[in-house]
Each structure stands twice: as structure tokens, then as C-alpha cells.
Amino acid sequence: MADKNWLNENEKWLKTIVSLVDTELGQSAKTELYDAITKMSGEKPTTVDSTSTHQIVLATTENQNLISHQLFDRLNDEGYIIRTITEHEKPTILLSAKTDKGLLYASFHFLRLIQTKQHLGSLNIVENPKNQLRMINHWDNMDGSIERGYAGKSIFFENNAFTTNLERIKDYARILSSVGINAISINNVNVHTVETKLITDEFLPDVATVANIFRSYGIQTFLSINYASPIQLGQLTTADPLDPTVRNWWKEKAKDVYRFIPDFGGFVVKADSEHRPGPFTYERNHADGSNMLAEALEPFGGIVIWRCFVYNCMQDWRDRKTDRARAAYDHFKPLDGQFYDNVVLQIKNGPMDFQVREANSPLFGAMTKTNQILEFQVTQEYTGQQIDLCYLISQWKEILEFDTFAAGAGTPIKRIVDGSTFENKISGIAAVSNIGNDDNWTGHQLAQANLYGYGRLIWNPDLSTEVITDEWVRATFGHDPEVVEHVTAMLFDSWPIYENYTSPLGVGWMVNPNHHYGPNVDGYEYSVWGTYHFADNEGIGVDRTVSSGTGYTAQYFKENKEIYESLEICPDDLLLFFHHVPYTHKLQSGVTVIQHIYNTHFEGVEQAIGLMERWSLLKDKVDEERYQNVMNRLNQQIENAKQWRDMINTYFFRKSGIKDEKNRTIY
Ligand code: BDP
């Protein structure tokens, strides 16, 4: 419900919606406007040129004559204009774009203006998305489970079949489209037996049904595929990418898929990664593997999204030379220039795996002749699992702003993945979704902010975290100043708080194996996963320097390499990611490493309690259901934080024998 004063001044604009665009997407644009305005203003607008004094007009370039066509030169195919034209005989807000898809985005933008109480009398907005591919990846399995899902079961699958609840999928399409997402892969990157059959006649009609829903909201559907499909589905004896029968098999397969879904996006591929099949079996490389699929998809305009999450997951912990952080760069950088132009590499933001804090992947900008997109994780695998609050927009913003120096100073990651630095044909950002069939979609009510913010940030990485957060808080909880203040502060504080009581100084991985929630300092220390902290009685951290360590720092461009290589200027928050230091090493902040560990863990618990206290101030201002949902989780978060504090502090106290300067309780 829009605010009364605002409504009094602006409701004249909301009485009539005239749409001149009759396509499927045009219909969606109009319906979204119509339904939302009805709900927000309490009155149904008319949809014909009525007697009302003002109107909203939806039109694409060619069917409007209200503004000069030249103004559209500034738009790309997904961009739009929103303009108040008061001098016209009937004052009009024109929502216009070159395409009906742009129009849909214009409608959602317009609704955001209402939700954030902007004045509608003098709008002059021109918007283009900065990223071409704006994608969501699902890790949903057909038995209904979601790998790393923390918000219930899959909304797509149950009992090894597709769901019949298509309304829910439609609502999801609307959610995604409202923040500009234009691509989705619906199944897990680990493609198991049943899911391998998604590209067969058994399931393609169902995939097509889902794709139809997403299409009406401007979203293209992709599938994750099993690299060994020719063997598992095709009775071939090999999946060798250079074998002509295999190549032919994929070509025929692509034809099948496009018969059902003419605008199918393409394949997402996890190959030679964590025991998934891939070209290595046949002594071929990732270019051979991806190009074969690209060749099959090319006639239909499809693309191959090939993941770079490739490393040795059978490492011997005694082997101090192998460094998992190096793996993606070592595998892919030498192949630059060998990929077809409908292949795009999907690179996780960090070289390890979505940790609370890790360095940024040095692959960004390292391959000048290869399409690349960035992968974030909205689902909070290592960041609290939607029990603990962890607002990730601040983290992603930092990553996107990171200067790679790939084309000299001023080459942030955001300008590499948007394709502008190296003029890539395909570019953009993908992320693992955090939704499931829980009523509130994300389990933790406030985790919705991560999905919203993800969409908004990748539409325009130049947007500030403040602006994105303010939009979400107001759209979700309204405009009460106290609510806005407290929810905003909670979101902003949450990532640093989570970092405080979990992983000090960029060390990472001190979590329980498998499920990854809660502390376990040595859980991965003597395992095969390559994720070590090397703590002993004297010190902690991974020496990744060229001078005495794994040489990982050399994968960065010179300016960053020099910073990370140096013990003196390496930022504190990544110190243990790059260096092995004694517990008595003095940080730039002035405290020793061990004292930092103690301080942040004590502080983290206090701060988690602080979050709960802040939320409790809103008891009478937020409805009971949402209030309780968040309160329950904050209480669990406090228990988790205490567990982290006590285990980490005790572990390092026992290892180092060094007392807390402030004599607090350590067990
Ligand atoms: C890790 C997850 C695992 C995923 C893998 C991946 O623990 O479940 O399959 O990443 O991205 O973070 O492929």
C-alpha cells in the first residue's frame, strides 16, 4: 500500500494504463503494472483511453509518436525510457523501449518508483542493463532436493518428475524478471542419473513447459548437462570430444532440444570437477570439450557455459606444493584464444569456493580472448545457510570494484565481466539461487535481500549498496523510519559480523565437513579437498607467495601481485590467505594475529546479540509472522556464534599457549 500523502499527490497518474503492445511480453508488462497498481492504490486502473486526465502509456519505439525516435538510439535491446510528458494534450507517463522485453523492465522500474515514493510528475529515465547475461543457476535435483539449498525443496521437481505447481514457477519468473534476470538454468551442475535424461524426449516436453513460463517474463532457459551423456543415454562407448560419433551425437541432441524449445539458451557444464566426467578422461582439454558442445549448439544460437571450478579434489594433505587456489588459472589461462565464440567460461568470484572472505579470482582479466562470466553464490553455503544473517551485496560490490589492472589501472572486475574491457561477445554474471518452496522463498526473511540485491547489482554494478538496500527495505517493510533504519543497519553489519565470529583474516574452511555449517577447525585439515590452514603451535596461514610459497600471487597482474606478496602491505583481511605467520605477527591494525582472533570472536558474539536486540525493537512494527521468522533465526545465530567463538578461541589458545590480553573466558 503506497503512503497516503504520496498517493494523494500522485494517484492521478495511476488511473489509466494504455498498452499499445500486444505481444506476450507486452501482456506481462501490462498485467504486472495493472495488478500492482490495483494493490498499491486500492483502485483498478482502466486500460482504455478513458476520461481520466492523466495516463500511463506502454509502447515500443515504432508504435509511439510521443517522443523523438532519436532518443531510442541510446538504448540497447533490453533498455528503456520512462518519461513524463506533460506538455502533451493528455499528461502522460510513457514507458517505452525498442523491444517488448525492455518494456517489461520499464514496468518493473515504474513500480519501484511507486514503492519508493518517487514523484511521478517529472520523470526522465533512460536505463540499459550493464551486463548482457544476468543469470540464476539452480542446484535442484529431480528428487526435489536442492544441493546447498536452505529454503525447503525444489520448486521445479519432486519425486523424480516435474512439479505440477506451475503457478509457483510463474511467481518465481516474475520475481526474477522484476530485478532484470534474463537467464536461468533449472537443474544442478552435478547432473545425476535421472537429470541426465532432461535432454531426452522423456522430459523435454516438461522442460518446454517451464521454458514457456520463463519466456513470458523475458528469461531464457538453460540446462546443466552430464558430459558423459553420449555413453549414458546414447549407448556410445566414449564421450571423447574429438570422436566424430560423439560430435554427431551432440549435434542430433541439440536438434532434439531445439525442436521442443526454439529459444533454448544452451548448456551449463561442470566437467572434470569433483568427480564429474569431462574431457580429461580422453586426454583432451577444456577447449576440446566445450567446443564440441558449442559446435552442436551454434546452428540454433545456443551457448555453452563452461565452469572453471576445476581442481584436484583428491589431494594428499602432505603435499605442500599443490595449491587449490592456483587450479582454475593453471587449467584455463593456457587455453586463451582456443574457445569458440559461443563458449563462455564461468568463473567463481574467488579461487577457492565462495568463502566468507577470500581473494578474487586472478582469472578475471587474464584471458583477453575468451568470453567470461562471473559466478556468485546467493545461497549461503559458507555464509550462514540462511540461519545466520549475512547480507552479501556488500561482499559482491567489493569484488566487482576490485581493480585487476588487466588493462592498466582502472580495470575493475565489473568492467571485465560486462565485456567492455576486451569486447567479448558474451559476458555477464551468474549466481546460485537461494530459493526453495518455503512460503517466504528464502527461509530467512531477510535473505530475500540477497536475491533482490543480486539482480539489481548485476543490472548495474555501479549502483551503490546503499541505494539497493534502501529499495529492498522499503519495498519489503514500508517506510517507517525506525524500521528502515534498523533493518538497513542489520543488513549492513551482518557480513562483517559473520566474518568476525567465523573466519579470521581470510583463512576460510574451518567448517564442519560436508554440510559446512558450524565450526570445525581441523575438519578439512587432513582431507583430500586442498583446503588447509596449516595451523601449528607457532603460526597459521597459507604461504602463497612466489618467494617462499606456492607461487599463487604471480597469477595476479603486477600491481596486485606486489601487494599480496608483501607481508607488510598485504591487507589484514586476507593476510592468512596469502601468508603463513606466527601468532605474534603484528597486523597493520596494530594487534597481533592471535589477539585479533580472540577479539573478533568475542566481539562477533556480542554483535550477533546486538542484531537480535535491534530486531526486537521492531516487534510492534513488523507483522508477527515475519517478526518471528527473523527472531527465531537470530536466536539460532547467537548459539552458532558462541559455538564458533569458543571452539576457535580454545583451539588457538591450546595450540599457541598465548593468553587473551583481556583475560576473557577461553576453555
Ligand atoms: C561447492 C559445493 C558443491 C558444489 C560445488 C560446485 O559445496 O556442492 O557442487 O561447489 O560449485 O561449493 O560445483
Atom of ligand 1 nearest to the CA of 147: 8
Q: State CA 488 to chain mean position distance.
A: 20
Decide if pLDDT at 88 tops 90: no
| 188-217 pLDDT tens trace | 999 999 999 999 999 999 999 999 999 999
CA of 191 to the centre of ligand 1 (A): 12
| 539-559 pLDDT tens trace | 999 999 999 999 999 999 999
Instruction: State the pLDDT confidence band at 2, using cuts at 50, 70 and 90.
Output: low
Check pocket membership of 511 for ligand 1, CB cut-off 6 A: no
Name the amino acid, one letter, at 407. Answer: A
CB 213 within 8 A of CB 169: yes
Q: Closest Cα to atom 11, ligand 1: which residue?
A: 309
Atom of ligand 1 nearest to the CA of 382: 12
Quickly count helices (H) and strands (E) in the chain: 19, 17
pLDDT confidence of residue 544: 98
Tell me the H-state helices in 116-239. Answer: 166-178, 193-196, 204-215, 229-232
Q: State CA 490 to chain mean position distance.
A: 20
Element holding 221 (H helix, E strand): strand 220-225
Atom of ligand 1 nearest to the CA of 432: 11
| 125-137 pLDDT tens trace | 999 999 999 999 9
CATH 3.30.379.10 range(s) for the chain read 1-127
CB 249 within 8 A of CB 230: yes
pLDDT confidence of residue 48: 84
Instruction: State the pLDDT confidence band at 654, using cuts at 50, 70 and 90.
Output: very high
Q: Closest Cα to atom 10, ligand 1: which residue?
A: 353
3-state helix, strand and coil shares in percent for the chain, rounded to the nearest 5: 40, 15, 45
Which stretch of 42-51, 148-157, 407-416 has the lowest confidence by average pLDDT? 42-51
Check pocket membership of 309 for ligand 1, CB cut-off 6 A: yes
Check pocket membership of 190 for ligand 1, CB cut-off 6 A: yes
Check pocket membership of 145 for ligand 1, CB cut-off 6 A: no
439 grid coordinates: 512460503
Check pocket membership of 295 for ligand 1, CB cut-off 6 A: no
Query: What does residue 307 show for φ and ψ, rounded to 5 degrees?
Result: -80, 145
Give, for ligand 1, the residue of 137, 139, 146, 148 to mutate: max count of ligand atoms closer than 8 Å to Cβ: 148
Atom of ligand 1 nearest to the CA of 273: 13
Rounded to an integer, the average pLDDT of 568-587 is 98
CATH 3.20.20.80 range(s) for the chain read 133-464
In 3D space, the residue among 349, 368, 357 whose CA is nearest the CA of residue 413 turns out to be 349
Atom of ligand 1 nearest to the CA of 189: 13
Q: Give me the percent of the chain exceeding a pLDDT of 70.
A: 100
CA 586 – CA 124 distance, rounded (Å): 53
Instruction: State the pLDDT confidence band at 62, using cuts at 50, 70 and 90.
Output: confident
CA of 223 to the centre of ligand 1 (A): 17
CA of 133 to the centre of ligand 1 (A): 21
Check pocket membership of 189 for ligand 1, CB cut-off 6 A: yes
Atom of ligand 1 nearest to the CA of 139: 9
pLDDT confidence of residue 492: 98
Atom of ligand 1 nearest to the CA of 377: 12
Decide if pLDDT at 1 tops 80: no
Decide if pLDDT at 144 tops 60: yes
CA of 531 to the centre of ligand 1 (A): 14
In 3D space, the residue among 186, 150, 174 whose CA is nearest the CA of residue 434 turns out to be 150
CA of 161 to the centre of ligand 1 (A): 23
Paired residues of 347 in beta bridges: 374
| 107-125 pLDDT tens trace | 999 999 999 999 999 999 9
Check pocket membership of 353 for ligand 1, CB cut-off 6 A: yes
Does the annotation mark 274 as catalytic? yes
Instruction: State the pLDDT confidence band at 50, using cuts at 50, 70 and 90.
Output: confident
Decide if pLDDT at 564 tops 70: yes
> Average model confidence (pLDDT) for the chain?
97
Give, for ligand 1, the residue of 274, 276, 434 to mutate: max count of ligand atoms closer than 8 Å to Cβ: 274
517 grid coordinates: 555449517
pLDDT confidence of residue 623: 97
Does the annotation mark 147 as catalytic? no
pLDDT confidence of residue 408: 98
CA of 153 to the centre of ligand 1 (A): 18
CA 371 – CA 216 distance, rounded (Å): 28
At the topology level of CATH, where does 1-127 sit? Chitobiase; domain 2 (3.30.379)
192 grid coordinates: 545425476
Check pocket membership of 354 for ligand 1, CB cut-off 6 A: yes
Query: What does residue 546 show for φ and ψ, rounded to 5 degrees?
Result: -75, -40
Rounded to an integer, the average pLDDT of 314-330 is 97
In 3D space, the residue among 641, 382, 384 whose CA is nearest the CA of residue 513 turns out to be 382
CA of 424 to the centre of ligand 1 (A): 27
Give, for ligand 1, the residue of 140, 146, 185, 189 to mutate: max count of ligand atoms closer than 8 Å to Cβ: 189
Rounded to an integer, the average pLDDT of 218-230 is 98
CA of 270 to the centre of ligand 1 (A): 10
Instruction: State the pLDDT confidence band at 243, using cuts at 50, 70 and 90.
Output: very high
Query: Collapsing DSSP states into helix, strand and coil, what is residue 213?
Result: helix
Atom of ligand 1 nearest to the CA of 348: 11
CB 7 within 8 A of CB 42: no
Question: What is the domain class of 501-542+580-656 according to CATH?
Answer: alpha beta
DSSP 447-483: GHHHHHHHHHHHH-TTS-HHHHHHHHHHHHH-S-HHH
CA of 188 to the centre of ligand 1 (A): 10
Does the annotation mark 381 as catalytic? yes
Instruction: State the pLDDT confidence band at 471, using cuts at 50, 70 and 90.
Output: very high
Give, for ligand 1, the residue of 141, 150, 190 to mutate: max count of ligand atoms closer than 8 Å to Cβ: 190
| 411-438 pLDDT tens trace | 999 999 999 999 999 999 999 999 999 9
Q: Closest Cα to atom 12, ligand 1: which residue?
A: 353
CA 361 – CA 349 distance, rounded (Å): 6
| 369-394 pLDDT tens trace | 999 999 999 999 999 999 999 999 99
pLDDT confidence of residue 4: 78
Check pocket membership of 376 for ligand 1, CB cut-off 6 A: no
CA 79 – CA 369 distance, rounded (Å): 27
Core vs surface per residue 228-261: b (16+ CB within 10 A) or e: bbbbbebebeebbbebeebbebbbebbeebbebb
Catalytic residue among 195, 353, 375, 438: 353
Check pocket membership of 276 for ligand 1, CB cut-off 6 A: no
Task: Count CB neighbours of 72 within 10 A.
Answer: 20
pLDDT confidence of residue 78: 98
CB 325 within 8 A of CB 363: no
Angle between helices 166-178 and 204-215 (to 10 degrees): 40
Give, for ligand 1, the residue of 147, 324, 509 to mutate: max count of ligand atoms closer than 8 Å to Cβ: 147
Q: Closest Cα to atom 1, ligand 1: which residue?
A: 353
CA of 298 to the centre of ligand 1 (A): 28
CB 117 within 8 A of CB 475: no
CA of 352 to the centre of ligand 1 (A): 11
Which stretch of 5-9, 202-206, 309-313, 636-640 has the lowest confidence by average pLDDT? 5-9
Catalytic residue among 274, 462, 536, 559: 274
CA 129 – CA 534 distance, rounded (Å): 44
CA 154 – CA 188 distance, rounded (Å): 11
Give, for ligand 1, the residue of 349, 381, 515, 529 to mutate: max count of ligand atoms closer than 8 Å to Cβ: 381
pLDDT confidence of residue 51: 79
CA of 87 to the centre of ligand 1 (A): 56
Catalytic residue among 298, 381, 471, 543: 381
Check pocket membership of 381 for ligand 1, CB cut-off 6 A: yes
At the topology level of CATH, where does 133-464 sit? TIM Barrel (3.20.20)
pLDDT confidence of residue 209: 98
358 grid coordinates: 577470500
Decide if pLDDT at 224 tops 70: yes
